[in-house]
């Protein structure tokens, strides 16, 4: 079982006063260690990347409405055609509605209701005009803890179930050469989105390896990352930082520990 903030506090008891801003200092040390591990391409920070791309499917009907009064917001279809229309949960969608163009992400798909992410917001709009819903097939949202792709020579990006490795997009020409839909050849990361060129012509999963951004600790029960390998240095850093040790010395402590 992973160590917790309580274990770090146990290591530093009697070395510092009983009260102090220890969460801030522990988080500071965790982030500095993580950055050092990132530079060394350490497997301690790595996790499997799995991104789903739909066909894509489209569904059009004059019975589609948007409801901002529900929590989370929803898109509804009185004709109950969402499932038979091929829409899938957790795929990114856009719509032909000028009021609610999207993009949205339905976390669940029922025959008559798309329940959206809590962060998605629609404007209430009644049915009556034909609306087309289209699943996005050229990008997917990266995990919320994404901190960059792994840089190891063995850490390729590939299409699951196929002998096909994707190549990083090196110029805009590559994207221009592969418009529309097909089997992706190139990939690109822009902000929090993972783009492929061309867009996926059928449902597929793209896999790889990525660095996980450490979660900030906020309570004594919060888990400390790194499989207990750096608990001692986190404790020593916290004590030294509390005693106002110069920043260069603090960083040196961590660099010596993470080599």
Query: Please, where are the H alpha helices in the chain?
Result: 5-12, 22-39, 172-177, 231-242, 247-257
Q: How much is the pLDDT for 21?
A: 80
Tell me the pLDDT tens digit for each residue of 91-120: 999 999 999 999 999 999 999 999 999 999
Query: Which residues fall within 8 angstroms of residue 211, CB to CB, at 6 or more apart?
Result: 38, 45, 46, 47, 146, 147, 148, 149, 150
pLDDT digits (tens, 9 = 90+) for 47-84: 999 999 988 889 999 999 999 999 999 999 999 999 99
**Local confidence band at 1 (pLDDT 50, 70, 90 cut-offs):** low
- Residue linked to tokens 């029960």: 221
Q: pLDDT tens digit string along 185-201?
A: 999 999 999 999 999 99
pTM (predicted TM-score): 0.84
Average pLDDT, rounded, for the chain: 92
How many CB atoms neighbour CB 67 within 10 A? 16
Neighbour tally for 112: CB within 10 Å = 16
Average pLDDT over residues 162-168: 91
């Amino acid at each position: 079982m992973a160590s917790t903030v309580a274990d770090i506090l146990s290591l530093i008891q009697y070395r510092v006063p009983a009260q102090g801003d220890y969460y801030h200092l522990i988080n500071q040390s965790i982030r500095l260690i993580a950055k050092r591990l990132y530079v060394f391409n350490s497997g301690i920070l790595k996790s499997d990347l799995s991104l789903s791309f739909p066909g894509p499917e489209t569904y059009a009907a004059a019975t589609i409405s948007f409801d901002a009064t529900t929590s989370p917001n929803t898109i509804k279809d009185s004709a109950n055609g969402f499932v038979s229309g091929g829409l899938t949960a957790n795929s990114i969608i856009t719509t032909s509605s000028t009021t609610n163009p999207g993009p949205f992400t339905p976390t669940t798909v029922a025959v008559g209701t798309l329940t959206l992410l809590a962060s998605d917001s629609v404007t209430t709009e009644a049915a009556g005009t034909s609306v087309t819903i289209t699943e996005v097939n050229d990008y997917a949202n990266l995990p919320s803890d994404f901190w960059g792709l792994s840089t190891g020579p063995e850490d390729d990006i590939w299409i699951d179930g196929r002998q096909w490795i994707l190549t990083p997009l090196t110029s805009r020409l590559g994207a221009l050469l592969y418009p529309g839909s097909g089997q992706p050849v190139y990939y690109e990361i822009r902000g929090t989105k993972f783009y492929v060129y061309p867009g996926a012509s059928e449902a597929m999963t793209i896999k790889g390896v990525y660095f996980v951004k450490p979660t900030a600790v906020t309570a004594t029960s919060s888990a400390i990352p790194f499989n207990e390998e750096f608990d001692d240095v986190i404790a020593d850093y916290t004590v030294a930082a509390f005693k106002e040790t110069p920043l260069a010395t603090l960083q040196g402590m961590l660099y010596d520990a993470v080599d």
